[in-house]
Amino acid sequence: DIQMTQSPASLSASLEEIVTITCQASQDIGNWLAWYQQKPGKSPQLLIYDATSLADGVPSRFSGSRSGTQYSLKISRLQVADIGSYYCQQAHSNPYTFGAGTKLELK
Amino acid sequence: EVQILETGGGLVKPGGSLRLSCATSGFNFNDYFMNWVRQAPGKGLEWVVQIRNKNYNYATYFAESLEGRVTISRDDSKSSVYLQVSSLRAEDTAIYYCTREDYYYSSFDYWGQGVMVTVSS
Protein backbone atom coordinates (compact mmCIF):
# COMPACT_ATOMS: atom_id res chain seq x y z
CA ASP A 1 0.00 0.00 0.00
CA ILE A 2 1.09 3.56 -0.65
CA GLN A 3 1.75 5.50 2.56
CA MET A 4 1.11 9.23 2.75
CA THR A 5 3.11 11.03 5.44
CA GLN A 6 1.54 14.39 6.18
CA SER A 7 3.06 17.20 8.23
CA PRO A 8 2.64 19.04 10.43
CA ALA A 9 -0.08 17.34 12.47
CA SER A 10 -1.18 20.71 13.79
CA LEU A 11 -0.43 24.29 12.90
CA SER A 12 -1.21 27.62 14.49
CA ALA A 13 -1.00 30.64 12.22
CA SER A 14 -2.07 34.29 12.11
CA LEU A 15 -4.48 35.90 9.70
CA GLU A 16 -2.88 36.84 6.37
CA GLU A 17 0.02 34.50 7.07
CA ILE A 18 1.32 32.04 4.48
CA VAL A 19 0.60 28.43 5.46
CA THR A 20 2.17 25.33 3.94
CA ILE A 21 1.22 21.70 4.53
CA THR A 22 3.15 18.84 3.00
CA CYS A 23 2.58 15.20 2.13
CA GLN A 24 5.25 12.68 1.26
CA ALA A 25 4.25 9.65 -0.77
CA SER A 26 6.04 6.35 -0.15
CA GLN A 27 6.37 5.76 -3.89
CA ASP A 28 5.88 7.54 -7.18
CA ILE A 29 2.23 8.55 -7.61
CA GLY A 30 2.74 11.13 -10.35
CA ASN A 31 0.13 13.85 -10.07
CA TRP A 32 -2.46 11.51 -8.53
CA LEU A 33 -2.86 13.58 -5.41
CA ALA A 34 -5.81 15.44 -3.96
CA TRP A 35 -6.23 17.81 -1.01
CA TYR A 36 -9.36 18.19 1.09
CA GLN A 37 -10.52 20.70 3.66
CA GLN A 38 -12.79 19.69 6.50
CA LYS A 39 -14.40 22.29 8.70
CA PRO A 40 -15.57 21.23 12.17
CA GLY A 41 -18.75 19.17 12.02
CA LYS A 42 -18.82 19.17 8.22
CA SER A 43 -18.02 16.79 5.41
CA PRO A 44 -14.64 17.09 3.69
CA GLN A 45 -14.53 19.20 0.53
CA LEU A 46 -12.20 18.83 -2.43
CA LEU A 47 -9.69 21.66 -2.71
CA ILE A 48 -7.05 20.46 -5.14
CA TYR A 49 -6.95 17.57 -7.60
CA ASP A 50 -4.27 16.33 -9.98
CA ALA A 51 -1.76 17.74 -7.47
CA THR A 52 -2.05 21.33 -8.68
CA SER A 53 -5.55 21.94 -10.09
CA LEU A 54 -7.98 24.05 -8.09
CA ALA A 55 -11.45 22.54 -7.61
CA ASP A 56 -14.49 24.57 -8.62
CA GLY A 57 -15.27 27.43 -6.27
CA VAL A 58 -12.04 27.18 -4.27
CA PRO A 59 -10.42 30.58 -3.61
CA SER A 60 -7.25 31.33 -5.52
CA ARG A 61 -5.27 31.76 -2.27
CA PHE A 62 -5.09 27.95 -2.23
CA SER A 63 -2.51 26.27 -4.42
CA GLY A 64 -0.92 22.86 -4.79
CA SER A 65 2.55 21.91 -5.91
CA ARG A 66 4.68 18.85 -6.42
CA SER A 67 8.37 18.08 -6.19
CA GLY A 68 9.03 14.43 -6.91
CA THR A 69 7.07 12.48 -4.33
CA GLN A 70 6.54 15.48 -2.05
CA TYR A 71 3.35 17.47 -2.37
CA SER A 72 2.45 20.78 -0.81
CA LEU A 73 -0.71 22.73 -0.15
CA LYS A 74 -0.19 26.44 0.28
CA ILE A 75 -2.59 29.05 1.60
CA SER A 76 -1.19 32.39 0.52
CA ARG A 77 -3.05 34.63 2.99
CA LEU A 78 -4.81 32.80 5.79
CA GLN A 79 -8.43 33.76 6.38
CA VAL A 80 -10.82 32.85 9.19
CA ALA A 81 -12.77 30.69 6.73
CA ASP A 82 -9.69 28.49 6.26
CA ILE A 83 -9.69 27.14 9.80
CA GLY A 84 -10.20 23.41 9.92
CA SER A 85 -8.42 20.18 9.05
CA TYR A 86 -6.65 19.34 5.82
CA TYR A 87 -5.99 15.94 4.29
CA CYS A 88 -4.02 14.72 1.32
CA GLN A 89 -5.10 11.60 -0.57
CA GLN A 90 -3.27 9.52 -3.13
CA ALA A 91 -5.53 8.65 -6.07
CA HIS A 92 -2.91 6.59 -7.89
CA SER A 93 -4.04 3.10 -6.94
CA ASN A 94 -6.22 1.06 -4.63
CA PRO A 95 -6.25 1.02 -1.71
CA TYR A 96 -6.59 4.78 -1.75
CA THR A 97 -4.87 6.28 1.26
CA PHE A 98 -5.10 9.56 3.11
CA GLY A 99 -2.53 11.48 5.07
CA ALA A 100 -3.14 11.66 8.81
CA GLY A 101 -4.37 15.23 8.56
CA THR A 102 -3.29 18.70 9.62
CA LYS A 103 -5.37 20.69 12.07
CA LEU A 104 -5.06 24.40 11.30
CA GLU A 105 -5.89 26.90 14.03
CA LEU A 106 -5.71 30.65 14.40
CA LYS A 107 -2.96 32.07 16.53
CA GLU B 1 -26.98 20.07 -8.50
CA VAL B 2 -25.17 16.97 -7.27
CA GLN B 3 -26.72 15.53 -4.13
CA ILE B 4 -25.58 12.59 -2.03
CA LEU B 5 -27.57 11.37 0.96
CA GLU B 6 -26.59 8.55 3.27
CA THR B 7 -29.05 6.75 5.50
CA GLY B 8 -29.09 3.71 7.73
CA GLY B 9 -26.72 4.59 10.53
CA GLY B 10 -27.35 3.97 14.19
CA LEU B 11 -26.38 1.98 17.25
CA VAL B 12 -25.37 -1.62 16.69
CA LYS B 13 -24.14 -4.24 19.11
CA PRO B 14 -20.69 -5.77 18.62
CA GLY B 15 -20.91 -8.69 16.23
CA GLY B 16 -23.96 -7.24 14.53
CA SER B 17 -24.33 -5.95 11.01
CA LEU B 18 -25.56 -2.79 9.34
CA ARG B 19 -26.61 -1.72 5.87
CA LEU B 20 -25.99 1.83 4.77
CA SER B 21 -27.67 3.37 1.76
CA CYS B 22 -26.47 6.23 -0.39
CA ALA B 23 -28.95 7.91 -2.69
CA THR B 24 -27.65 10.29 -5.33
CA SER B 25 -29.05 12.73 -7.85
CA GLY B 26 -27.94 15.51 -10.15
CA PHE B 27 -25.46 13.55 -12.26
CA ASN B 28 -25.29 10.51 -14.50
CA PHE B 29 -24.71 7.91 -11.80
CA ASN B 30 -23.91 5.16 -14.32
CA ASP B 31 -20.71 6.95 -15.37
CA TYR B 32 -19.09 7.14 -11.97
CA PHE B 33 -17.20 5.03 -9.48
CA MET B 34 -18.52 5.41 -5.94
CA ASN B 35 -16.65 5.07 -2.68
CA TRP B 36 -17.22 4.97 1.05
CA VAL B 37 -14.85 6.80 3.39
CA ARG B 38 -15.13 6.70 7.16
CA GLN B 39 -13.93 8.83 10.04
CA ALA B 40 -13.72 7.60 13.61
CA PRO B 41 -14.53 10.21 16.27
CA GLY B 42 -11.71 12.74 16.48
CA LYS B 43 -9.64 10.85 13.92
CA GLY B 44 -8.67 11.20 10.27
CA LEU B 45 -10.20 9.94 7.06
CA GLU B 46 -10.02 6.26 6.10
CA TRP B 47 -10.96 4.97 2.68
CA VAL B 48 -13.20 1.90 2.99
CA VAL B 49 -14.35 0.60 -0.38
CA GLN B 50 -14.84 1.41 -4.05
CA ILE B 51 -17.35 0.09 -6.56
CA ARG B 52 -16.72 0.78 -10.21
CA ASN B 53 -19.31 1.24 -12.89
CA LYS B 54 -20.76 -1.16 -15.45
CA ASN B 55 -17.94 -0.48 -17.91
CA TYR B 56 -15.61 -2.01 -15.34
CA ASN B 57 -17.96 -4.87 -14.50
CA TYR B 58 -18.85 -3.30 -11.14
CA ALA B 59 -15.44 -4.30 -9.77
CA THR B 60 -14.94 -3.70 -6.07
CA TYR B 61 -11.91 -2.89 -3.96
CA PHE B 62 -11.73 -2.96 -0.19
CA ALA B 63 -9.51 -1.63 2.55
CA GLU B 64 -7.59 -4.54 3.99
CA SER B 65 -8.86 -3.78 7.49
CA LEU B 66 -12.42 -4.47 6.41
CA GLU B 67 -12.04 -7.08 3.70
CA GLY B 68 -14.28 -10.04 4.34
CA ARG B 69 -16.70 -8.02 6.46
CA VAL B 70 -17.85 -5.51 3.88
CA THR B 71 -20.13 -5.85 0.90
CA ILE B 72 -20.78 -3.02 -1.52
CA SER B 73 -23.37 -2.96 -4.27
CA ARG B 74 -25.05 -0.44 -6.50
CA ASP B 75 -28.38 -0.08 -8.25
CA ASP B 76 -27.89 2.10 -11.30
CA SER B 77 -31.65 2.29 -11.87
CA LYS B 78 -31.98 4.00 -8.48
CA SER B 79 -28.69 5.94 -8.61
CA SER B 80 -27.85 4.38 -5.28
CA VAL B 81 -25.04 2.51 -3.63
CA TYR B 82 -25.21 0.27 -0.58
CA LEU B 83 -22.68 -0.75 2.05
CA GLN B 84 -23.14 -3.72 4.33
CA VAL B 85 -20.74 -4.23 7.21
CA SER B 86 -20.88 -7.38 9.30
CA SER B 87 -19.14 -8.64 12.45
CA LEU B 88 -19.05 -5.05 13.65
CA ARG B 89 -16.44 -4.06 16.20
CA ALA B 90 -16.06 -1.03 18.44
CA GLU B 91 -13.36 0.28 16.10
CA ASP B 92 -15.90 0.43 13.28
CA THR B 93 -17.60 3.29 15.13
CA ALA B 94 -17.34 6.20 12.73
CA ILE B 95 -19.08 8.59 10.42
CA TYR B 96 -19.43 6.88 7.05
CA TYR B 97 -19.34 9.14 4.01
CA CYS B 98 -20.49 8.20 0.54
CA THR B 99 -18.40 9.91 -2.13
CA ARG B 100 -18.40 10.31 -5.87
CA GLU B 101 -15.08 9.66 -7.53
CA ASP B 102 -14.03 12.05 -10.27
CA TYR B 103 -13.94 10.19 -13.58
CA TYR B 104 -10.53 11.44 -14.71
CA TYR B 105 -8.58 12.27 -11.58
CA SER B 106 -9.91 9.78 -9.02
CA SER B 107 -10.38 12.44 -6.40
CA PHE B 108 -13.56 12.52 -4.33
CA ASP B 109 -15.32 15.53 -5.76
CA TYR B 110 -18.64 15.22 -3.96
CA TRP B 111 -19.38 13.95 -0.46
CA GLY B 112 -22.54 13.18 1.41
CA GLN B 113 -23.21 14.64 4.84
CA GLY B 114 -22.24 11.33 6.43
CA VAL B 115 -24.04 8.86 8.65
CA MET B 116 -22.98 7.88 12.15
CA VAL B 117 -22.47 4.24 13.04
CA THR B 118 -21.91 3.43 16.71
CA VAL B 119 -20.89 -0.06 17.74
CA SER B 120 -21.51 -0.57 21.43
CA SER B 121 -23.18 -2.98 23.79
pLDDT in tens, A14-69: 999 999 999 999 999 999 999 999 999 999 999 999 999 999 999 999 999 999 99
8 Å CB contact of B114 and A46? no
Whether B28 shows a pLDDT value over 90: the answer reads yes
Q: Is B69 left (phi over 0), alpha (psi -120 to 50) or beta?
A: alpha
- CA separation (Å) from A16 to A77, A80, B26? 4, 9, 37
DSSP B102: P
Residue in B45, B89, B54, B57 with CA at minimum distance from that of residue B70 = B89
The pLDDT value recorded for residue B12 is: 97
Provide the shortest C-alpha distance from residue A16 to chain B (in Å). 27
Q: Which pLDDT belongs to residue B59?
A: 97
Please tell me if residue B59 touches chain A, with a CB cutoff of 8 Å: no
Residue B103's pLDDT band (cuts 50, 70, 90):
confident
Q: Which residues of chain B make contact with A34, given a CB cutoff of 8 A?
A: 105-108
Q: Indicate the pLDDT class of residue B65, thresholds 50, 70 and 90.
A: confident
